[in-house]
Amino acid sequence: MVRFIKITTDLYDQMKLLSDLECTRNRMDGPIWLEIQNDVELKQLEVENLKKGSFWNMTFDCVGLFLARFVFTIFSDIKSAYGVPQLMAKDTDHTSTPSPSIFNKYKLFDAPPDTLGAAALALKYADIVILIERLVRSPVSLYSKRRDELYSVLPANIRDELRDRLSPIQRLSCSLVKEIAAPMKVTTAKTLEWLAPLVHNTKKWHSMWKRHQKAYGCSQVRLVETLYFAGQEETEAEIMRLIVGLQYKKQAAEMRVSYGCKGKASVVLEESKSVTI
């Protein structure tokens, strides 16, 4: 397998050189053209020989068999070096090449405990973060319409925790809120820089999986690029930090624009629209 890979790599390198030679030849004339034409013919012969010993002339089925053998060989080496789980060992029959049924019984993509994948919450939490992302990018004047939607999809444990976290913020002075709001805005933006791609990949992966009804790896998005393996506790903590950042942003804006730092600010997440502080 390694030999085929090396020859195929050399083939593409030589094909590039051949293309460069042909371009150079087309710009020349006279004795120089003949000299370069000779180099082109030699390079063409070299390329043809490389094609015979590479993947170039192989059928898809043939390459697939090579890849399958390569995978099982690697797995056998791993098994020899580190052993295999007991569940998998039952299917090996003491042979050097593991049975394909191993991969059916031992799912390498099973999410560990305490992850969103294990709790079947990856898609739900992705929707929550997307709602937060929209709020972050929206003018404060649109918060009233979207905060109710966000509040309705939050799990009860997050709502209870946020109630305790947001209450002290609502009692802060205008100057202190404005002082904290600026760095919180930067922190929120940095968090969304790495978290937003994960949540959008989660939505895309679930959409492709539902459409094709196939197992893992059915889409162009890899499972490790989603929230599937994210820790539930850590993800909830990030969500709460983002919402706290929203509270500072909203409260600072309301105090500055609507109340001139003298009135009361409403809450980003509230169970009733009549609740103010």
136 and 20, same structural domain?
no
236 and 134, same structural domain?
yes
72 and 35, same structural domain?
no
226 and 151, same structural domain?
yes
C-alpha distances in angstroms, 111 versus 83, 107, 197?
A: 21, 9, 20
Residue 264 lies in a domain: no
Residue 155 lies in a domain: yes
73 and 17, same structural domain?
no
206 and 154, same structural domain?
yes
Summarize the confidence of residues 224-234 as an average pLDDT. Answer: 89
67 and 153, same structural domain?
no
Residue 123 has pLDDT above 50, yes or no: yes
Instruction: Indicate if the alpha-carbon torsion angle 257, 258, 260, 265 is positive or negative.
Output: negative
The overall average pLDDT reported for the chain is 77
pLDDT band for position 127 (cuts 50, 70, 90): very high
Instruction: Single out the residue of 199, 240, 223 nearest to residue 107, CA to CA.
Output: 223
Instruction: Single out the residue of 108, 238, 216 nearest to residue 161, CA to CA.
Output: 238
What pLDDT is attached to residue 100? 41
49 and 150, same structural domain?
no
Residue 191 lies in a domain: yes
Burial letters for 25-36: b for 16+ Cβ neighbours within 10 Å, e otherwise?
beeeeeeeeeeb
- The larger pLDDT score, comparing residue 245 to residue 109, is at 245
Summarize the confidence of residues 128-154 as an average pLDDT. Answer: 84
Residues sharing a CB contact under 8 Å with residue 214, sequence separation 6 or more, in sequence order = none
What is the rounded CA–CA span in Å between residue 126 and residue 120?
11
Domain total in the chain: 3
What pLDDT is attached to residue 271? 42
158 and 41, same structural domain?
no
Cβ neighbours around 195 below 10 Å, total? 20
What is the rounded CA–CA span in Å between residue 195 and residue 227?
9
Residue 267 lies in a domain: no
Residue 134 lies in a domain: yes
Asked if 177 and 248 touch (Cβ cutoff 8 Å), the reply is yes
What pLDDT is attached to residue 155? 93
Percentage of residues in the chain with pLDDT exceeding 70?
Answer: 76
Summarize the confidence of residues 21-33 as an average pLDDT. Answer: 83
Query: Which tokens go with 181?
Result: 């709001």
What pLDDT is attached to residue 63? 76
Summarize the confidence of residues 90-109 as an average pLDDT. Answer: 44
Q: 21-35, 127-141, 185-199: lowest mean pLDDT where? A: 21-35
C-alpha distances in angstroms, 89 versus 70, 77, 151, 266?
A: 20, 14, 48, 61
Residue 270 lies in a domain: no
Q: What is the span of the domain harbouring residue 179?
A: 122-258
Residue 116 lies in a domain: no
Q: Where are the alpha helices (DSSP H) in the chain?
A: 2-26, 31-52, 60-82, 86-89, 101-105, 122-137, 143-153, 156-170, 174-212, 232-253
Q: What is the pLDDT of residues 170-190, one digit of tens each?
A: 788 888 888 888 899 899 999
Summarize the confidence of residues 66-70 as an average pLDDT. Answer: 79
233 and 148, same structural domain?
yes
What pLDDT is attached to residue 102? 36
Angle of helix 232-253 relative to helix 122-137, nearest 10 degrees, comes to 20
Residue 192 lies in a domain: yes
What pLDDT is attached to residue 38? 86
Asked if 50 and 14 touch (Cβ cutoff 8 Å), the reply is yes
What is the rounded CA–CA span in Å between residue 251 and residue 261?
10
State which of 105, 139, 166 marks the end of a domain.
105
What is the rounded CA–CA span in Å between residue 213 and residue 156?
31
70 and 28, same structural domain?
no
Residue 213 has pLDDT above 90, yes or no: no
Residue 252 has pLDDT above 80, yes or no: yes
233 and 134, same structural domain?
yes
State which of 41, 74, 105 marks the end of a domain.
105
Summarize the confidence of residues 222-227 as an average pLDDT. Answer: 84
Cβ-count burial of 87 within 10 angstroms (0-12 exposed, 13-18 middle, 19+ buried)?
Answer: exposed
Burial letters for 223-252: b for 16+ Cβ neighbours within 10 Å, e otherwise?
bebbbbbbebeebbebbbebbbbbbbbbbb
